Structure 1
Amino acid sequence: MASTRQQPSWQPPPDPSPEDQLPLLKIYNSLTKTKNLFVPIDSKRRKVTWYACGPTVYDDAHLGHARNYVSTDIIRRIMKGFFKYDVRFVMNITDVDDKIIVRGRQQYLLAKYLSGALKQHPPSAKIRSAALEAYVEKSLPKVSNGTPPKAIKEVVEQKYADVIAGKSLDPSRPAGDDEAKLKMHIKTVFSATEAIQLLEENRLEESSEDFKNNVQDILLPYLDSLYGATIDASDHAIFTNLTQKFEARFMEDVRALNCLDPDDVTRVTEYGPQIVDFVKKIEENEFGYKTSDGSVYFDIKAFEDANNSYARLEPGSRNDQGRQADGEGKLTLQTTEKRSPSDFALWKSSRPGEPSWPSPWGEGRPGWHIECSAMASDKLGSQIDIHSGGIDLAFPHHDNELAQSEAYWLQKGEHNHQWVNYFMHMGHLSIQGSKMSKSLKNFTTIREALSRGTWTPRGLRIVFLLGNWAGPIEITEDLVKEGSNWEDKVNNFFINAKDALTRPSPNPDAKVNDELQEALRNTQQAVELALCNSFDTREAMNGKNGMSELISTYNSAKNGSISSDTISAIANWITSIVNIFGLNGEASPNSEIIGWSGIEIPDSAKPYVESVSRLRDQLRSRARSAKGLTAQELQTTVGAIAEVPNDQESNSSSYQQVLQNFKAEATSLASSPNLSKAVLSLTDRIRDIDLWNCDIYLEDRENEPTLIRPVTRELRAARQEKEDRERAKQLAKAEREKQAAARAEKGRLSHLDMFRTSEYSAWNEEGIPTKDAEGVDVTKSREKKLRKDQAAQKKLHEAWISASGANVNS
């Protein structure tokens, strides 16, 4: 039973001295469930220590992981670039745990199985059948044991029809993760049964990638259950080959998302001796105990009896046996020697098929939670400013970390050692209401999303900036659109601001400039307040007096009235903020270059495109004038555009070709009967096709030179939308014409003759049938219907006569 003594609460760090001049930054602290004023331990030197839980490297990172690491990177950049803290950022790599052990072992066994090197195994057909049966029995219990493989798909479709149709297992609640997991299992079974059938029909090779990809999810656990304990686990390469591969891919992925590298990276496999020493100290402090199998457990009761608090992050989960079991791992040996069901492993005795390291308690491996405590303490000491990770780590992982670290650092006679001052937990990313996770297989990997063009690093980061880092984010069409609109707005601002600075206003309006300078000061203040409010980036971007509102104010001013100093002040400040947010590659917050990447056309294109734009502007201006363009003016204008020397060192040939073709085609139009119209058509084509195909767009502006800009995703989307509207319009027109033609063709037939068919045998003088084919009188109701149809045909026929000019009596 836990102690009844008053449990300690979070203690704020001491207030800084006035001369420290720290920002009034408040951070939402998971330890207190509120926003606390941030005061670093080393406030005089503004140094911040930060430990972040990194990835468990056994598979590619997905967008749910990106949510965590990008949001963490954003906050880290703001602390460094905006608040000027000296941040030391340490991140761990979990390269040994239950998932890695199982995955490494399974992949090793699968490779041996597919190569035929797995000794003394039953025939492949028997293994496949048994693996499928075992998977179905465990994952889809409504399917009867012994169902033949060929009948499984039909039975599953029948037993799980509601789930397949998207319905909930429980009518009282909407479908969620349980249903998503069942759908995943159904998909796995369907893919496997289809691959097995193709193999048996000799339409698929067992050694092919297609077969492996479709059946591995059923084969992996089955092979592991048969042979997992037989592998030589002293060969750590079985596991490290997997982790080294995916650690490298993880670092590639987060760098592609423009996340800064950690200052230090720690790996569990490199910390064996330190972890053993850490566990020994906890045991010596009488907060850990050994069991007969050589494992060591944390004694929660002893910890609480010493006036310490357990489960401070999520006290409501303290007795959640399911989550505690997940935290212990599926490979943990169940023991009756635990003093409490909630006690967790500090050191695990290794079983056959599991890697191990030497320890005073026997061969074993670290518990999941101890790794972070030992590594963070080694790098950052007895107290840390910030500890971060995904919200799913709060309990039991971080709660167990807190307890065992404070148990380690407690000195004799000391109570309530506060190991971490601020815990920051990043919210989940969900799609269509379901959390993105590997266990549900409802994820898109980072590299897939970037390679397919589904996301850009900047676009994804903007979406995360528009969310609350501590809350969940659901990817919706509205959120994606909001992010795209914000990016497009800032993009256009940078392009126009840089262009305006090349053409300084000769007579800037003092009032306009004063108003813009005041707007800039208001936005600077609003952004600082937003970022001080627990990094509220959404408010900084789209809130009152936020960045978007400043750009709108700038856009509403007359460009010719704004001084270069004002333009530079606004553009440089917005540039510094987007650089701090990590939206501009490796650019520094202090960069003197206005804007972000992607607003400039390639350097190799500039001399040619600028010549094309200048020639086009001059020809369009004359062609659109009241007098129009003469042949002499055309030739003089084209001749005045100097040749641009070819740069053999650059990729300029396509741009040079556009310029040469433009000059040649313009010259050839000199004899055109309607010269101005022909030239305008040519200049439109240069803009809409020739340069567009080179990823360059010329934006025409009234009474100003054409704006040269790269083709962006937003421009492509706008053009596609316009083309779709035009295509729909043409299709609708074609359909109307088709229907009109059908009506016209139908109108050829005279209403007087329309019923003179074999269906009837007698008619009156109006052409209305009086008897059917067998001489039976037409009923009154039938006659009424026939007269109605004839009246409609009469209108069609008269319309046809009118349109064709035919003789009504013909």
Structure 2
Amino acid sequence: MASTSRQQPSWAEPHSGSPSKLSLYNSLVRAKTPFRPVDPEGKSVTWYSCGPTVYDDAHLGHARNYTSNDILRRIMNDYFGFDVQFVQNITDIDDKIILRGRQAHLLSNFQSEHAQITDDVLATTSKAFDAYIKKNLPLLNPGLKPEDFKKESAEKYAAVLKGKSVDGTGPPGDKEAKIKMHLKTAGNAVTALLSPSRSSNEDIAKFWEGAEDVLLPYLDSLHGTSISSSDHGIFTALTKKYEDRFNADMEALNVLPPNVVTRVSEYVPQIVAFTERIVSNGFAYQAGDGVYFDIAAFEKVKNNHYARLEPWEPDEHRLTGRRDFSLWKTSKPGEPAWDSPWGPGRPGWHIECSVMASEALGSQIDIHSGGIDLCFPHHDNELAQSEAYWSTEGGHQWINYFLHMGHLSIAGSKMSKSLKNFTTIREALARGDWTSRSLRIIFLLGGWHDGIEITDDMKKAGSSFESYVTNFFLRIKDLKIHPNTTSTGTEDAKIKAALESAKSKVHEALADSFDTPAAIRAIRGLIEDWNTADKAGLSDDVSRDLGVFVTRILRIFGLDGKADPNDGGIGWSGIDIPEVSKEFVYAASRLRDEVRQRAIAKDDLSEETLNSVISKDKPSKQQDAAAEDLLRLSQQKSEAKDFLELSDRLRDVHLWKAGVYLEDRTNAPAMVRPVDAELRAEREQKEAIARKKAEAKQQREREEAEKKAKLAAQAKISPKDMFKTEEYSAWDDDGVPTKDKEGADVLKSKAKKLRKEWEKQKKLHDEHLKGVGSS
């Protein structure tokens, strides 16, 4: 990374507005630069974010990008006080969408024509399987029978399946990931083709599910060109579905919706006009298959630079002769088309964002954001064509700050739709792998610009921080229920100083290009200072001030749903018990506290005393039940331990089932808290340990019982009979063998050993006989 003191080229100087304490890491210069909005008053900020290409469900890699964008946007709005106009696009026209939309349409037609899995369906699927194998798995024999796929693929792609490169000499890469994907797809088709049952609706659904990914490209190869170019609905049906699902995913992640949403399909006339102007400005030309941006012509103009985000990229493209990029494409058969001066066609990839951003935000935009993989060619091409549109003289500054979110990887592998190696957002949330809060915490801990690899250690760090904060909030909120009435205030100055220090650290961190890891460390440090403070010397108001500050910052980060960061509240969702339960629960907790204290101190627990304690709170049905149990113990003159056991049952059984836990504290009333995932995990762990101990004890008892039973059975045998087996042919009067089965004398050493065994058995048998006699 370049030093923040490097001199910026003239084209990278932001528009000079009012000064700001905020600096941003700007991909245009690969350095941190002071943030100065275009707005002369320094209040309004224009921001364009590259949105999703909607042809499949969003995965955790998308969650990383859009959640991190959301964190930065919230900080700009709610911490620094900027008025952010946030525009995000929906890409609903591009090569992948056209292909996927067309394929989905053709497969749907094929399925509707075949309500049952007929021989025709099987024959078509077999041909699709053959075509898929031939194209994507060339090491397998052409015409491979489905029943031979498993064996041959295991042999031909053994190295890949073992986690190595194809040739077995190095580590795997994207090539091997694609091979695994193709093997899985082919394997699913094999399962469908070889399924013995295809009659029920469930069977039919499973067949289509397994065969789908080989049928899609095959049907497209047969019928794709027959699709009408004017039937745009074929493609928007797919994109509408996945746009709705994307929006639902973002809501589940607590990502704020954009102020403005733009869709490529709604901006085609503007794209045509935008392209016309670039052509008329002399920076684009018409070719046989569309309109191309002329990079050479663009760079001839003073202060125009191509590939500014990744200036090392163009050399490769100069060598290959593939420098110019498409602004408008002539539509091929089977692709959607719109009228243009250059004939029926469709937008190129990069032009869409230039047009939509310019239409929504104008000729100069403060911030443009997206994933790090969009630097080149997408954002570099956006810059060039937009600056060619807005100026013929060169050097126009279209975007002042580019913010690029780092990749998310799991086990070292970047998630990719094309590789199908991703976990979707909805899958991860539905399975309970993540919550919107736990995932957001991971992104806050890792920072927005750097890549993040989710490891077990990182998940533990995120879980630890969430638990740490939850426990802090619970204790601060508990002060309202159990105020510290004996505070001396001797700790106040120390904790106030810690609060001011934390505020300063958080501000410095956020002003330093949204350094959220440093801000999180400051928050954790402040909580640690409070945890270790002498609570007897700390006033509740100071404690609550800490709670309000921590709450505000974490709400600004989006960790508490739609809660207002500035309402003076304390805590986040999930730490309050249901309102309807509070009256009974707090009454039961107070009753239990006093009974426990008296039981521990061996104090008076008479019926009269208990009635006095019980009468302090308004009675309820549940409290009456607890009171009856207490009074019964008192009437039975029960010991203190019985009252403690009853207290534990109230905590561990009755209230636990109601989703409430009483956390006992030394020299303080129990703290009421909801049963959460952490508490459940702790209990499950304790119960698992207890089960193992019980199982081990039962095993020992079984073995001991078996040993005793065996010994008892052995004791019943007379020593005179114990050696009467086929192994020997003669015995003395005591039954000790004298000759083996062949008639040879038993060796003296063995005879001595046998006599010792005989004596041991005699003693055992005699004890048995005594026992029988005594009974």
Q: Same fold (TM over 0.5)?
A: yes
Structure 1 segment 376-455 matched on structure 2, within 5 A: 376-411=357-392, 414-455=393-434
In 1, the alpha carbon distance for the partners of 2:680 and 2:273 equals 60
Aligned pair partner of 1:573 in 539, 546, 549: 549
Q: Is the 8 A contact 2:197 2:203 kept in 1?
A: no
Q: Is the 8 A contact 1:204 1:211 kept in 2?
A: no
In 2, the alpha carbon distance for the partners of 1:796 and 1:152 equals 67
Q: Is the 8 A contact 1:314 1:395 kept in 2?
A: yes
In 2, the alpha carbon distance for the partners of 1:529 and 1:768 equals 94
Q: Is the 8 A contact 1:311 1:395 kept in 2?
A: yes
The amino acid that maps onto 1:79 is M
The amino acid that maps onto 2:494 is E
The Cα of 1:207 is off from its aligned counterpart by 7.8
| More deviation, 491-500/363-372 | 491-500
The alignment status of 1:541 with 2:536, answered yes or no, reads no
Question: In the superposition, relative to structure 1, how do residues 126 and 515 fare at CA in structure 2: closer, same or farther (>3 Å)?
Answer: same
Structure 1 segment 566-605 matched on structure 2, within 5 A: 566-605=542-581
Question: In the superposition, relative to structure 1, how do residues 632 and 135 fare at CA in structure 2: closer, same or farther (>3 Å)?
Answer: same
The Cα of 1:479 is off from its aligned counterpart by 0.9
| More deviation, 579-588/663-672 | 663-672
Q: Is the 8 A contact 1:504 1:563 kept in 2?
A: no
The alignment status of 1:365 with 2:346, answered yes or no, reads yes
In 1, the alpha carbon distance for the partners of 2:91 and 2:764 equals 81
Q: Note the alpha carbon deviations across 1:207-245, whole angstroms, 9 max, x for none.
A: 833222221111111111111111223221111111112
The alignment status of 1:525 with 2:504, answered yes or no, reads yes
Question: In the superposition, relative to structure 1, how do residues 778 and 111 fare at CA in structure 2: closer, same or farther (>3 Å)?
Answer: farther
Q: Is the 8 A contact 2:406 2:448 kept in 1?
A: yes
In 2, the alpha carbon distance for the partners of 1:754 and 1:688 equals 60
The alignment status of 1:304 with 2:280, answered yes or no, reads no
SS of the aligned residue for 1:48 comes to: strand
The amino acid that maps onto 1:559 is K
Aligned pair partner of 2:531 in 535, 555, 578: 555
Question: In the superposition, relative to structure 1, how do residues 217 and 339 fare at CA in structure 2: closer, same or farther (>3 Å)?
Answer: closer
Q: What residue in structure 2 maps to residue 609 of structure 1?
A: 585
Question: In the superposition, relative to structure 1, how do residues 776 and 553 fare at CA in structure 2: closer, same or farther (>3 Å)?
Answer: farther
Structure 1 segment 213-292 matched on structure 2, within 5 A: 213-292=209-288
Question: In the superposition, relative to structure 1, how do residues 776 and 67 fare at CA in structure 2: closer, same or farther (>3 Å)?
Answer: farther
Structure 1 residue runs of 5 or longer lacking an equivalent are 1-6, 325-337, 645-655
In 2, the alpha carbon distance for the partners of 1:721 and 1:621 equals 28
SS of the aligned residue for 1:313 comes to: coil
In 2, the alpha carbon distance for the partners of 1:358 and 1:731 equals 77
Q: What residue in structure 2 maps to residue 4 of structure 1?
A: none
The amino acid that maps onto 2:307 is A
| More deviation, 41-50/451-460 | 41-50
Aligned pair partner of 1:684 in 648, 655, 662: 648
The Cα of 1:409 is off from its aligned counterpart by 1.5
In 2, the alpha carbon distance for the partners of 1:795 and 1:314 equals 94
Structure 1 segment 689-728 matched on structure 2, within 5 A: 689-728=653-692
The Cα of 1:274 is off from its aligned counterpart by 0.8
The alignment status of 1:159 with 2:144, answered yes or no, reads no
The Cα of 1:36 is off from its aligned counterpart by 2.0
Structure 1 segment 166-185 matched on structure 2, within 5 A: 166-169=163-166, 171-185=168-182
Question: In the superposition, relative to structure 1, how do residues 795 and 48 fare at CA in structure 2: closer, same or farther (>3 Å)?
Answer: farther
Q: Note the alpha carbon deviations across 1:345-392, whole angstroms, 9 max, x for none.
A: 100111111111111001111001000001111111122211111112
In 2, the alpha carbon distance for the partners of 1:319 and 1:753 equals 101
Question: In the superposition, relative to structure 1, how do residues 701 and 296 fare at CA in structure 2: closer, same or farther (>3 Å)?
Answer: same
The Cα of 1:15 is off from its aligned counterpart by 5.4
Question: In the superposition, relative to structure 1, how do residues 797 and 499 fare at CA in structure 2: closer, same or farther (>3 Å)?
Answer: farther
Q: What residue in structure 1 maps to residue 328 of structure 2?
A: 347
Aligned pair partner of 2:81 in 56, 80, 84: 84
| More deviation, 259-268/679-688 | 679-688
| Alpha-carbon RMSD | 3.6
The amino acid that maps onto 1:112 is N
The amino acid that maps onto 1:296 is V
The alignment status of 1:621 with 2:580, answered yes or no, reads no
The Cα of 1:757 is off from its aligned counterpart by 7.6
The Cα of 1:158 is off from its aligned counterpart by 2.4
Question: In the superposition, relative to structure 1, how do residues 802 and 676 fare at CA in structure 2: closer, same or farther (>3 Å)?
Answer: farther
Q: What residue in structure 1 maps to residue 5 of structure 2?
A: none
Question: In the superposition, relative to structure 1, how do residues 747 and 265 fare at CA in structure 2: closer, same or farther (>3 Å)?
Answer: same
In 2, the alpha carbon distance for the partners of 1:387 and 1:776 equals 102
Structure 1 segment 22-33 matched on structure 2, within 5 A: 22-23=20-21, 25-33=22-30
SS of the aligned residue for 1:28 comes to: strand
The amino acid that maps onto 1:69 is Y
Task: Tell me the percent identity.
Answer: 48
SS of the aligned residue for 1:208 comes to: helix
| More deviation, 237-246/629-638 | 629-638
Q: What residue in structure 2 maps to residue 332 of structure 1?
A: none
In 2, the alpha carbon distance for the partners of 1:771 and 1:316 equals 97
In 2, the alpha carbon distance for the partners of 1:279 and 1:721 equals 64
Question: In the superposition, relative to structure 1, how do residues 778 and 116 fare at CA in structure 2: closer, same or farther (>3 Å)?
Answer: farther
Q: Is the 8 A contact 2:327 2:347 kept in 1?
A: yes
TM-score normalised according to structure 1 size: 0.86
The amino acid that maps onto 1:11 is A
The Cα of 1:729 is off from its aligned counterpart by 2.2
The Cα of 1:320 is off from its aligned counterpart by 5.2
Q: Is the 8 A contact 2:198 2:207 kept in 1?
A: no
Q: Is the 8 A contact 1:516 1:553 kept in 2?
A: yes
Question: In the superposition, relative to structure 1, how do residues 634 and 384 fare at CA in structure 2: closer, same or farther (>3 Å)?
Answer: same
The Cα of 1:741 is off from its aligned counterpart by 4.2
In 2, the alpha carbon distance for the partners of 1:759 and 1:482 equals 70
Q: Is the 8 A contact 1:635 1:670 kept in 2?
A: no
Q: What residue in structure 2 maps to residue 129 of structure 1?
A: 126
SS of the aligned residue for 2:563 comes to: coil
In 1, the alpha carbon distance for the partners of 2:62 and 2:651 equals 42
The amino acid that maps onto 2:314 is R
The Cα of 1:444 is off from its aligned counterpart by 2.0
The alignment status of 1:61 with 2:65, answered yes or no, reads no
Question: In the superposition, relative to structure 1, how do residues 449 and 803 fare at CA in structure 2: closer, same or farther (>3 Å)?
Answer: farther
Q: What residue in structure 1 maps to residue 337 of structure 2?
A: 356
TM-score normalised according to structure 2 size: 0.90
The Cα of 1:674 is off from its aligned counterpart by 2.0
The Cα of 1:166 is off from its aligned counterpart by 3.1
Structure 2 residue runs of 5 or longer lacking an equivalent are 1-7
Aligned pair partner of 2:465 in 464, 472, 486: 486
The Cα of 1:472 is off from its aligned counterpart by 1.5
Q: Note the alpha carbon deviations across 1:732-771, whole angstroms, 9 max, x for none.
A: 3333334444555555658999994857337999999998
Question: In the superposition, relative to structure 1, how do residues 79 and 801 fare at CA in structure 2: closer, same or farther (>3 Å)?
Answer: farther
Q: Is the 8 A contact 2:12 2:28 kept in 1?
A: no
The Cα of 1:500 is off from its aligned counterpart by 1.8
In 2, the alpha carbon distance for the partners of 1:59 and 1:799 equals 82
Q: What residue in structure 2 maps to residue 193 of structure 1?
A: 190
Question: In the superposition, relative to structure 1, how do residues 77 and 154 fare at CA in structure 2: closer, same or farther (>3 Å)?
Answer: same
The Cα of 1:510 is off from its aligned counterpart by 4.0
Q: Note the alpha carbon deviations across 1:455-483, whole angstroms, 9 max, x for none.
A: 11111111111112112211111111111
Q: Is the 8 A contact 1:10 1:32 kept in 2?
A: no
Question: In the superposition, relative to structure 1, how do residues 79 and 380 fare at CA in structure 2: closer, same or farther (>3 Å)?
Answer: same
Question: In the superposition, relative to structure 1, how do residues 680 and 511 fare at CA in structure 2: closer, same or farther (>3 Å)?
Answer: closer
SS of the aligned residue for 1:437 comes to: coil
SS of the aligned residue for 1:316 comes to: coil
